[in-house]
Amino acid sequence: MIYPIVKYGDPVLQKSAAAITSFDDELKRLVEDMFESMYAARGVGLAAPQIGISKRVAVIDVTFKEDPDAKLVLVNPEIVHKEGRQRGTEGCLSLPEFREEVTRAKTVTVRAQDIDGKFFERTGEELLARALLHETDHLNGRLYISHISALKRDLIKRKIKKLAKAGEW
Ligand SMILES: [Zn+2]
């Protein structure tokens, strides 16, 4: 099932999501639906709060369907190591049409559980490092615009307010 993507302004995006405690069929269905919703929205990462579900699950595929092995499911993820710096543009399905330069760590290690509850660690560089940080942030109620200057952030917020007023957000 394809869920609509929740946009900036919805409080679900700004709260810390709840830990997953049952690794059951419901979770498996949620993860499937999240991949489907992410691909439909042409994204490379999606966190459950972005479909209105405040749970600590995120899916990532930085190859966008090219490599099935690149599909990554993160349940209850924690960033355990960050190294180096990279600058690059970043966007978010919950902030469509906006993109900003964001400085992030270049190499990132996440510790998470898989769909069966098994713990694993995964280290990513470049785009994957960025995705690991971006999606884990979502589960803590943070959006990438919290990493840009207040001036740029206010500009985006003002534009969104205008769009909302016109019924286009
Ligand atoms: Zn996002």
Q: Please write the tens of the pLDDT for every residue from 140-154.
A: 999 999 999 999 999
139 CA → ligand 1 middle, Å = 10
Q: Each residue of 56-97: pLDDT tens digit?
A: 999 999 999 999 999 999 999 999 999 999 999 999 999 999
Q: ∠71-77-81 over CA atoms, to 5°?
A: 100
Identify which of 125, 5, 20 has the alpha carbon closest to the alpha carbon of residue 73: 20
- How far apart are the CA of 13 and the centre of ligand 1, in A? 9
pLDDT at position 143: 98
| 110 backbone dihedrals φ, ψ, rounded to 5° | -115, 145
**The predicted structure's pLDDT at residue 42:** 97
Share of the chain above pLDDT 70, in %: 100
- What are 164's two structure tokens? 């909302």
- Measured CA to CA, the distance from residue 159 to residue 165 in angstroms comes to 10
Share of the chain above pLDDT 90, in %: 100
Determine the average pLDDT of the residues in 112-132: 98
Residue pair 109/122 in contact (Cβ under 8 Å)? The answer is: yes
Q: Which of 74, 78, 76, 79 is nearest to 20 (CA)?
A: 76
Whole-number Å distance between alpha carbons of 78 and 111: 5
Active site residues: 135
Mean pLDDT of all residues in the chain?
Answer: 97
> What per-residue confidence (pLDDT) applies to 78?
98
The pLDDT of residue 124 is 97
Rounded to an integer, the average pLDDT of 10-28 is 98
Locate all alpha helices (DSSP H) within the chain, ordered by sequence: 25-40, 126-139, 150-165
CA–centroid distance, 46 to ligand 1, in Å, is 6
* pTM recorded for the entire structure: 0.97
d(CA 94, CA 133): 16
Q: How much is the pLDDT for 90?
A: 97
Q: What is the mean pLDDT of residues 118-139?
A: 98
Distance 10 CA to ligand 1 centre (A): 13
